[in-house]
Amino acid sequence: MKERELIDIIARLAGEQRPGLLRGIGDDCAVIEGRPGLVQLVTMDTLVESVHFDPDWHPPEKLGRKAVAVNVSDVAAMGGTPSFVLLSLGLPAGFDDQWVDRFLRGFTGSCREYGCLLIGGDTVRSPDRIVITVTVIGEAAADQVVYRSRARPGDTIWVSGSLGRAAAGLELCRAGASQSSDPLLESLVEAHLDPRARTVAGRLLAASGLVHAMIDLSDGLATDLAHLCEESRAGAVVEAEKLPAGPALYRASRLLHLDPVRLMVSGGEDYELLFTAGPAAGGDLLRLAAKAGVSFSPVGVITERSGVWLKRAGPGRDAVGEVRIDYKGFDHFPGPAKR
Amino acid sequence: MKERELIDIIARLAGEQRPGLLRGIGDDCAVIEGRPGLVQLVTMDTLVESVHFDPDWHPPEKLGRKAVAVNVSDVAAMGGTPSFVLLSLGLPAGFDDQWVDRFLRGFTGSCREYGCLLIGGDTVRSPDRIVITVTVIGEAAADQVVYRSRARPGDTIWVSGSLGRAAAGLELCRAGASQSSDPLLESLVEAHLDPRARTVAGRLLAASGLVHAMIDLSDGLATDLAHLCEESRAGAVVEAEKLPAGPALYRASRLLHLDPVRLMVSGGEDYELLFTAGPAAGGDLLRLAAKAGVSFSPVGVITERSGVWLKRAGPGRDAVGEVRIDYKGFDHFPGPAKR
């Protein structure tokens, strides 16, 4: 069984509605009724040692920060503000006190930066590996929450920041270059080790009323855009040449002999925002980006045709091919279209 | 570092207050402001394969039910009603689809029984072991929440149901008797495999206004009463002969060559309620127990002297000794006082 099938089974068994629930399984956060005029956003993510992080190159402070950020990012992607955090920490017997202390300092420091507070959780013995599960509860104005499910054909698809950075950083770590002295490469490693959630941009986008649908890029553009399209019963075309790469990504791609487009499309953990808006909203969105201190790039369009398609120049540089990329993680990505 | 020290460090680092937070780390649930007149109760617990359960004898449906119950029990212990549930499920690669399906059926069925709904979570790969983390969000009337911290010297200490059952059931499973044909022993095994949270009793106790402090018995009477006393800046004396044992416990104790008092004092996972009330409340509490369909037993008294003490007849049966039992888990429990 694949993860998506498992989630489908869970969603089917979870079943019926309940008063006070606005959105259950299927978006970045569950949405429940809150104080008057507000809703609560609830999300939960787990990081498992050697699956999601490698303590050999992940400093504990940064891992603590990342455990907060990946959850806060889900709240940001619905336009909310994180309020409260719960942490379940599974540790092997005879764990390293110093490691735990540094992890917790990073964790609670990150909570403070995002304006939320650790209020509970659990500590358990996990014999083989460190396991970190975090729940974040956020809040948003009830009339401003942005769902995945409301993209409309004709919408422009936008992403914040630049893409593929965390995936390139992970590859650099795997190649033993986590301590690079090249500041460009170092910035990619940092993107993997210590990502930041786009809370300010998420809130401004939600408050603007311009955005139809939004999701955070945790599993990679191909997968996350496919989620958004599926929930919106629509499709998408992304243009490879519009994808925002930075000079660091090109440098790392050459060094690692990797395709930068592949890193941008299939690489996970950028924690940038992907959102859609009507084609006339471009000017307003660029002004809003300046206010949020981040770049927004239009990368494609929502279509009635289903599927997520990547338009890319073929090897001959004179022809453009389209390849379907829904849910293609890095390993399974089929590469550019052949003529 | 011990778990309690770790939790102290976490509580210290978590730090300051925040508007909307009524109680952070240190009770069964965190308590935050909710809809008008209500508070939200939030709790999180993790079960790790071979630490908290053994799939060899734990049927997946019952494990799913238990994962819900142990969290709902925390909500019950503050007088609340569970509303929403999040599940993070870590599974080894190539997990057994049938096992997962049965686990999820038990999990969601239990949610329905307690009147709450699974609304989100995460699924991850956990290479060596199944890891289950659950967050439950409950609700309670703001003026009825019962904390651990308000026990008063002179209060009578009460427990619901009978004690030591789950610990005896676990020992039976370990001894290979999980499939006992003796209905008494079978009921102990069930107490371990499929515990029920005392939601009805918890709500009635909270609404009665009679109860000063309450906690659920997850880590055993000695440990949980020590938590309650520490938070209340008080102590306690428990009388061994008042502890509610059932005939099943005596039968299992003989079979396993275990001390039934030790099972009742140090055995965890009974998920009964321990609460304190003024000495005049006894009659009202017994009427309330009948309404809740459960027994309540007075087992001791809250004292100004600190520490949790067990009063027990010495080996000679003619003398009574006191032994301090704070935070004594099953393995560390020093046994009855010697003359």
**pLDDT at residue A318, as a whole number:** 63
If asked whether residues B298 and B185 sit together in one domain, one would say: yes
Cβ contact B48–A84 (<8 Å): no
Q: What is the dihedral of CA B93, B99, B104, B107, to 10 degrees?
A: -120
Q: What is the mean pLDDT of residues A16-34?
A: 91
Q: What is the pLDDT of residues A31-71, one digit of tens each?
A: 999 989 999 999 999 999 999 999 999 999 999 999 999 99
Q: How confident is the model at residue A78 (pLDDT cuts 50, 70, 90)?
A: very high
Instruction: List chain A residues with CB under 8 Å of B137.
Output: 32, 42, 137
Residues 67-106 of chain B with CB under 8 A from chain A are 83-84, 86-90, 95, 97, 100-101, 104-105
Q: Which of A16, A101, A124 sits opposite B9 (nearest CB)?
A: A101
Instruction: List chain B residues with CB under 8 Å of A129.
Output: 126-128
Cβ contact B119–A15 (<8 Å): no
Cβ contact B119–A30 (<8 Å): yes
- Tell me the nearest-neighbour CA distance from A30 into chain B, angstroms: 6
If asked whether residues A220 and A126 sit together in one domain, one would say: no
The size of chain A, in residues, is: 339
If asked whether residues A227 and A98 sit together in one domain, one would say: no
| A1 in contact with B, Cβ within 8 Å | yes
If asked whether residues B97 and B178 sit together in one domain, one would say: no
pLDDT at B127 > cutoff 50 = yes
Using the Cα atoms of residue A253, residue A219, residue A157 and residue A143 in order, give the sign of their dihedral: negative
Q: How confident is the model at residue B126 (pLDDT cuts 50, 70, 90)?
A: very high
Contact by Cβ (8 Å): B272, B243: no
**Interface with B, mutate which of A44, A128, A129, A137 (most B CBs under 10 A):** A44
Cβ contact B36–A32 (<8 Å): no
Instruction: List chain B residues with CB under 8 Å of A3.
Output: 123
CA distance B151 to A170: 52
Q: How confident is the model at residue A139 (pLDDT cuts 50, 70, 90)?
A: very high
In a domain, B102, yes or no: yes
Cβ contact A25–B126 (<8 Å): no
**pLDDT at residue A177, as a whole number:** 80
Instruction: List chain A residues with CB under 8 Å of B15.
Output: 108, 112, 117
Q: What is the mean pLDDT of residues B306-312?
A: 95
Cβ contact B100–A18 (<8 Å): no
In a domain, A337, yes or no: no
Instruction: Name the average pLDDT for chain A.
Output: 93
**Interface with A, mutate which of B5, B131, B223 (most A CBs under 10 A):** B131
- Tell me the nearest-neighbour CA distance from B19 into chain A, angstroms: 10
Residue of A nearest to B135 (CA): A135
Residue B222, token pair as written in the block: 């000695």
Instruction: List chain B residues with CB under 8 Å of A131.
Output: 46, 48, 90, 126, 131
If asked whether residues A198 and A267 sit together in one domain, one would say: yes
| A32 in contact with B, Cβ within 8 Å | yes
| A37 in contact with B, Cβ within 8 Å | no
Instruction: List chain B residues with CB under 8 Å of A117.
Output: 14-18, 21, 24
Contact by Cβ (8 Å): B22, B140: no
CA distance A203 to B102: 40
Q: Which of B48, B118, B137 sits opposite A14 (nearest CB)?
A: B118
Q: What is the CATH number of the domain that holds B191?
A: 3.90.650.10
In a domain, B48, yes or no: yes
Q: How confident is the model at residue A317 (pLDDT cuts 50, 70, 90)?
A: low
% of chain B exceeding 90 in pLDDT: 83
Domain boundary among B141, B175, B198: B141
Q: What is the mean pLDDT of residues B28-38?
A: 94
Q: Tell me which residue range forms the domain holding B265.
A: 156-332
In a domain, A151, yes or no: no
CA distance B38 to B53: 35
Q: What is the pLDDT of residues A193-209, one digit of tens each?
A: 999 999 999 999 999 99
| B4 in contact with A, Cβ within 8 Å | no
Q: Which of A3, A32, A111 sits opposite B84 (nearest CB)?
A: A32
Worst-scoring range by mean pLDDT, B15-19, B111-115, B152-156, B263-267? B15-19
In a domain, B148, yes or no: no
- Tell me the nearest-neighbour CA distance from A55 into chain B, angstroms: 16
Q: Which residues contact A210 (CB under 8 A, 6 or more apart)?
A: A277, A278, A281, A284, A285, A288
Instruction: List chain A residues with CB under 8 Å of B22.
Output: none
**pLDDT at residue B316, as a whole number:** 63
Query: CA angle, B45 as apex, B175 and A78 as ends, to 5°?
Result: 150
**Helix (H/G/I), strand (E/B), else coil: B215:** strand
| A137 in contact with B, Cβ within 8 Å | yes
- Tell me the nearest-neighbour CA distance from B37 into chain A, angstroms: 10
Domain boundary among B141, B167, B188: B141
Domain boundary among A141, A171, A206: A141
Residue of A nearest to B13 (CA): A108
Residues 271-290 of chain A with CB under 8 A from chain B are none
Q: How confident is the model at residue A337 (pLDDT cuts 50, 70, 90)?
A: very low
Cβ contact B10–A104 (<8 Å): yes
Q: Which of B14, B120, B122 sits opposite A46 (nearest CB)?
A: B122
Cβ contact A13–B118 (<8 Å): yes
Longest dimension (CA), chain A: 61
**pLDDT at residue A17, as a whole number:** 81
A289-318 residues labelled b (16+ CB within 10 A) or e (exposed) = beebebbbbbbbbbbeeebbbbbbbeeeee
% of chain B exceeding 70 in pLDDT: 95
In a domain, A147, yes or no: no
Instruction: List chain B residues with CB under 8 Å of A29.
Output: 120
Using the Cα atoms of residue B138, residue B141, residue B142 and residue B145 in order, give the sign of their dihedral: negative
If asked whether residues B131 and B240 sit together in one domain, one would say: no
Residue of A nearest to B19 (CA): A83
If asked whether residues B177 and B295 sit together in one domain, one would say: yes
Q: Which residues contact A5 (CB under 8 A, 6 or more apart)?
A: none
**pLDDT at residue A335, as a whole number:** 39
If asked whether residues A135 and A162 sit together in one domain, one would say: no
In a domain, B337, yes or no: no
| A110 in contact with B, Cβ within 8 Å | no
User: How many Cβ pairs closer than 8 A exist between chain A and B?
Assistant: 216
CA distance B121 to B94: 20
Q: Which of A6, A14, A128 sits opposite B108 (nearest CB)?
A: A14
Choice between A180 and B223, residue whose per-residue pLDDT is larger:
B223
Question: Is the pTM here over 0.90, yes or no?
Answer: yes
Distance of CA B60 to the CA centre of its chain: 21
| B51 in contact with A, Cβ within 8 Å | yes
In a domain, A176, yes or no: yes
If asked whether residues B120 and B194 sit together in one domain, one would say: no
CA distance B7 to B25: 9
Q: What is the CATH number of the domain that holds B88?
A: 3.30.1330.10
Alpha carbon separation from A181 to A140, A165, A177, A184 (Å, rounded) = 41, 17, 9, 9
Please count the structural domains in chain A: 2
Cβ contact A123–B6 (<8 Å): yes
**pLDDT at residue B332, as a whole number:** 34
If asked whether residues B191 and B48 sit together in one domain, one would say: no
% of chain A exceeding 70 in pLDDT: 95
**Helix (H/G/I), strand (E/B), else coil: B200:** helix
**pLDDT at residue B191, as a whole number:** 97
Alpha carbon separation from A161 to A80, A167, A290, B2 (Å, rounded) = 19, 14, 12, 43
pLDDT at A144 > cutoff 70 = yes
Contact by Cβ (8 Å): A178, A57: yes
If asked whether residues B118 and B224 sit together in one domain, one would say: no
If asked whether residues A133 and A263 sit together in one domain, one would say: no
